[in-house]
Structure 1
Amino acid sequence: MLKDHIEKIVNILSEKLKTNKSIFYYVVPIISVLGLLFFINSKAMFSNSGDMKIRSTPLNEIQVTDSLHAKILSRKYNPITKTVEFIIYTEDSNNIDKKDLKFELREQESPNVVIPTRYQKIDANYYVILANVKKNWNVLSLSFGYESADNSSMNEDLEDIDIDNLDTSTKDKKSLVSVVRIYSDANDIKSSSFLTEKKKSKYISEIMDLEIDFINKDIDKLNKKIEEDNSKMKDAESKIVELKNDIRYQTESEKNTTEANITKLKNLISSTRDLGEKRVDRVKELKEKINKLEQKKMDFGV
C-alpha cells in the first residue's frame, strides 16, 4: 500500500537526517511531496468499502450489443493530474470496413457535458482511452461505438440512465451506433500517482499481463472445480461400495431400491467425469492461450 511505502521512506530519511545534517534542505521538500501524496490517497486508504455502493462495470466481463463485444481490462486514476485511463478489449466480426471506435466520456453530475478524450489504438482489439476529469467526480460513463451518419448531439445523459442496473448494452442512435457503455465509480478505480501516457509497446506488455492474470484466475477457479468433481466422484464410489455391502441383508424390495440408488450414483459419476474432462481440456486451452500472449508480449512489447 502507498501508506506503507511512504512510512518506510520517511523512516529512512529520518535516519539519514540524524547522521548527516547537511541533507536537511533536501529532506524537507521530499517529505512535503510524500505528505501530499499521502493526503491525496487518504480517501482510498481509510474509506470503509463496506458502507459504499459501488456502481462500476466489472473488469474482464464481456458486454454485448449488436455484433460488438467489449470488456474493460483496467481503470486507473491519477489524483495529482486528474487523469483517468481505461484499457478496453473489443471485437466485432461485422466490422468489415475496420472502422475505429468513437468514444464519449460523461460524468454523473454533469451528464450533458462530453469530456474530451484521447486514445491509442494498440491493435485491432485493444484501445487505451485517457481523459482529464474534474477533481470530485463520482461516476464516469464511457460510451463507445461507431459514428453514425446523423451527427446530431447526444440528448440521452446519465440522468436518464438507471445507473444501478448498469445497462451496458444501451443503443444510442443520436451520434453513435452499436454502443457499449461502461461505468466507473470513483470508489472502484485504481489510484496511481505516477500514471502517465505510455508508448504502444509498453501498453502491449501491460495488456498481455492483464489478460494473463485474468486467465490464471480462471484456471484457479477451474482447478478448484476439478478438485470438487474428484471429491464428489470418490464420495459416490464409496457410497456404492457401502450399498453393495448392505444389499445381502436386504429384502427384495429393499434390494430394488438399493440397486436404483446405485444406478443413480453411477450416472452421477459418469456425468461428473465428463464435466471434469471438459474442465481439464479448458485448462489446457487456457494455458495454451497464456503461451500465445507471452509470445505476443515478446514480439511486440518490451
Structure 2
Amino acid sequence: MKQLLILSGKGGTGKTTVATAFIKLLNAKGYADCDVDAPNLHLLMHQNTDKISSNYYGMNKAVIDSEKCINCGLCMEKCRFDAIENESDYKVNPFACEGCSLCEYVCPVNAIIMNKDVAGELMLYKSDAIFSTAELKMGSGTSGMLVSEVKKGLRDNLVTDEIVIIDGSPGIGCPVIASITGVDFILIVSEPSISGISDMKRIIETANHFKTKVAVCINKYDTNIKKAEEIEEYCIQKNIPFVGNIPFDNKAVKAINEGKSIIDEDTVSGKAVKNVYHKTISYLLEKENKLESIL
C-alpha cells in the first residue's frame, strides 16, 4: 500500500480538515489518525461501530511495597523527577514517574518494583474501512511508540496496494518522526502566518532528513496574501511542489461544526481542496508512472 501522510508543523492549520476531504475523495479503504495526544479524525469520519480496543503499555512505573519499605527515604532522595512523595508513608506519583527504575536500584530492601502501566488505548474500526487510531493517557509519554503501533494496526489489517491516508500530529517531535517513517509522500498544510511559515520550514527539514518527498498547500491563504506569496516563493526556491491554495470559507467552518467534511457541502474551500487532492495524488504516483514508462 502507498501511504500519504498529511502534516502541518503547526497546530490549527486545517490538517485534519484536508485529511478528511482526501479520505472521502479517495474513498480510502484505510486511514489512520496519528495525533495520539488529541485525536479528532473520528469526529468527522463517524466511525463508531466494529470497534476493537486494546491497552497500550508504555514505560513501566515504580510501585513501593509499604510492607517491605523501611522508610529510609533513599528513593525519594535519589529520584530526579520528584516522583516519590512522603505523607504517612512513601508512595510514587505515577504522573511524575518516568520509569527510569533508579529507585528500584537503590532500595536496600527490594521494596520497589517496576510494574506495567497502561499509557493509552489503541482503537481499530472495521466497519466501512480500516481506521486505526489511539489516544494517549494524560501525563503519559512514549507517544512516538504509540504512533508506530497505530500505523502497524493499519498495515496488519489492510491488504491492498491502494493509497491510505494518515493524519499526522502537529510539531516535529516524536509522534511526527514516527509518522514520517516508512511513508511514501507528505502533504504539508501550511497557513499564511509567521509561525505557520516557520513551522512549515521545520517540518520540511525533518522530512528531508528522512529523504521523504513533500508537497505544500496553503489553507486560508486569503487571510494574508503577502505571506501566502512568501510560501509559494519559498517552494519555488527549494524546488518543492506547490499544489494549491484553499481559501478561508465560513461555510467550511459551519460544515466542520456539524461534523461534515468540506466536500460534503457546496463550499469554495471544498472545490479548492479537490484541486489540491488531484495534484497531490499525481505527485505521489509520479515515481511509479515514470518506472512504468521505462519498463
TM superposition score category, shorter chain reference: under 0.3
Q: Which has the higher contact order (CA 8 A, sep 6+)?
A: 2
> Which has more helix, going by share of residues?
1
Q: TM-score, normalised by structure 1?
A: 0.25
